[in-house]
Each structure stands twice: as C-alpha cells, then as structure tokens.
Amino acid sequence: MKPMRLTYIILSLILTFSCSSDDSSIDEPPIDEMLYFPPNDSDVWETKSISNLDWNENALQPLLDFLEDSDTKSFIILHNGRIVNESYFNGTTMLSNNPWFSAGKTLTAFTLGIAQEDGLLNITDSSSNYLGSGWSSLTSEQENAITVKNHITMTTGLDYTDDLYCTDMDCLTYLDDPNSFWYYHNAPYTLTQSIISGALNSDFDTYFNSELKNKIGMQGGWVQFGYNRFYASNARSMARFGLLCLNEGIWEDDIILGDANYFTEMTNTSQNLNPAYGYLCWLNGKSSYILPSSENSFTGKLIPNAPDDLIAGLGANDQKLYVIPSKKLVIIRMGNDGGDNGQLSLSDYDNLLWEKINDLIN
C-alpha cells in the first residue's frame, strides 16, 4: 500500500473512533449537504431540486434556451455531487458520446500524478528518461534539459511556429530554452502519454483504465486522430471526473490520487509566465493570462463572469469542464462550437455561458 494512502486511512480511522460518542450535541450536516458519489456500476444518480438551493428558478429556462441555440449537446450541473440539472439537446441522449478534445488534457495530468505517486516517474526528471534519447531534433544537451514538468506546463521551448501537433522527431526542433516562454503547444502535451507509457514499460490506456477510469465508473476511451489523442465519453463520465477533482482526488472512500501536493500544484499556477495555467488545466481569478495561439499576455481574469476559484478543462468547440470548490459545483458542457469559430480551448463563449449560469445560481 502506498505510504500516503496508508497515512490517510489511519487518520480516517482515528477520526472515526475519536468522533464516535453518545453525545447528541454533536451536529452532523444534513444528508443532502454531504458530498455524494454515484455508484460505479449503475445509472442511479441522486438529484437535488433547484428550489432547495435558493437559486433563481426563473433563470433556468433562459439558460437552457441559450445552450440549445448555441449547439450544445449535453449539459450537467452538480451540487455536492448531486444532479441539479441534466439536459440533452439536438438529438443527444444520456448515452451519447462526445470528444473532450483539450479538456481531456486534465485526465492525462491526473494520470501522471498517479504514476508519480506510484514511484514510476518524477516530473522533475528529464523527459528523455522515459521517451528515450533522440525523440526530438535537439542536441542531447538541449533534449535532456526538457523535463516532464515542461511538457505539462507548456514551457518546453520547442518550436511551435511550424506545426502545433506533429510529434515526429523532425517536427520537434529547438526555439528557446525551457521555461523561457509559454505557448499552447499540443505536440509536447501529446508526448506526455508516451512519457507515462515509457515509465510503465506498458501502454498508457491500460494504466489509465485501471487506475482512474474504472475506479470512478467512467466509460469511454481514447481515440487516435492524426497526431492527437482525444478522450470521448458521455457527459456523465466527464461529470464523474469533475466530482473527483472537486474532492481533490478521492472518490468516496477510495483514494485515486493521494499525493495532495501534486494535486495542489496541478490546480494552481505552475510557472511564472502564464498565471492562469496549472498542469494542463486552466485557472480563473489570476492577474493575467495567455491564450492558446497567442504569445501575448492579457491583464485580468481568464473568465471575468466566473468565480475566481474556478478550475477548468477547456476543449475545442467549447467542451467545458468547470470545477468550482467555493460553490461545491461541477458544470459540464459538451457539444459543437458555441459560435467562436472553434477556438482551441478558451473562447468568448465561456463568459457568455457564465453570465447565464450566474443568473441561475446567484
């Protein structure tokens, strides 16, 4: 058993026994205020009424109209793990799968943390330790200077000006030193899964399925599309992962990622170039941000209408995985481009959507 997980279990037992008492003066939270996890082997999922949340019920239908009109397929709001709203549009059902696109980068970052906790790799190591030498066209010295962490923070220094996606050796050329600039370069991210499989000496998908997907009851799988690998699933599977992140890596009593330090690093500013980026996830409420396909830094919050503590997986064509710890919310939007011409991740649609969400929850 992993040391951190054993420590967590021992502490849990101590707290359980120390809190066991006949003292009826100890108030426990109401059942519907406790974090709920749906069973892994069933479609059963507890719900919660908007009327019980003191939200503005009159704002729900305008939100749903906006979603349908913007080519949304699936939309879910969880509060404390319970479904407050689950809606499907434009011919989609609960069983329909949709690609996460870059929102699935969060799955890879989470799996990397599990592999590090398992002692299979260290993100401060050179990525060559796991990819082997000659994975790029750099000199050995340049190649060895790139760490695993550079791959998950978009700071490898590799040249992004020719092809963002190509992972062939000839496409991976030197532009600048690692950690010297931030750019949303997809190829180094894609290689992160190869880093994990190299550390495992086995395939990524099998490890992902056994250590993450199956443990939280997700369905779906990874799909190869050119150089890219996208995860595709139904909306409830994305919601399950969001719920896991809301509870910081623990699924009910099962510790999926026990390395609290890694989870904290993943969901906070990971470098000093783009404050709004963690480990392959986006962060709101920071002083500035850099957008995909841009070298420029913009002052202000990533999504002005959204809560400051929002953590997000954002994918092309407006795939949205929002986790908001302060409000105990997970919000999922899957579908087609909401009207901003297929941006890689963040788009104007985020702010428009949050305007509607705020009308409901505030």
Q: Where are the domains of the chain?
A: 52-361
* Sequence-distant (≥ 6) Cβ neighbours of residue 264 within 8 angstroms: none
CA angle 76, 82, 86 (to 5 degrees): 25
The pLDDT value recorded for residue 2 is 53
The pLDDT value recorded for residue 4 is 47
Q: Is the pLDDT of residue 12 over 90?
A: no
User: What are the tens digits of pLDDT across the range 173-201?
Assistant: 999 999 999 999 999 999 999 999 999 99
Q: What are phi and psi of 322, to 5 degrees?
A: -110, 130
User: Which residue is associated with the tokens 């799968």?
Assistant: 97
Which helix (H) or strand (E) covers residue 313, if one does? Answer: strand 311-315
Q: Which CATH architecture has domain 52-361?
A: 3-Layer(aba) Sandwich (3.40)
**Angle in degrees, 0-180, between the axes of helices 348-361 and 60-69, rounded to the nearest 10:** 160
Nearest CA to 172 out of 152, 156, 150 is that of 156
Spatial separation of the C-alpha atoms in residues 260 and 275, rounded to whole Å: 20
Spatial separation of the C-alpha atoms in residues 68 and 219, rounded to whole Å: 25
**What does the block give as tokens for 62?**
């305008």
User: Which residue is associated with the tokens 């962490």?
Assistant: 149
Residue type, 208: F
Q: Is the pLDDT of residue 341 over 90?
A: no
**Predicted confidence band of residue 346 (pLDDT cuts 50, 70, 90):** confident
User: What are the tens digits of pLDDT across the range 88-125?
Assistant: 999 999 999 999 999 999 999 999 999 999 999 999 99
- Find out whether 299 and 288 touch, Cβ atoms under 8 Å: yes
Q: Is the pLDDT of residue 270 over 70?
A: yes
User: What are the tens digits of pLDDT across the range 227-250?
Assistant: 999 999 999 999 999 999 999 999
**Predicted confidence band of residue 268 (pLDDT cuts 50, 70, 90):** very high
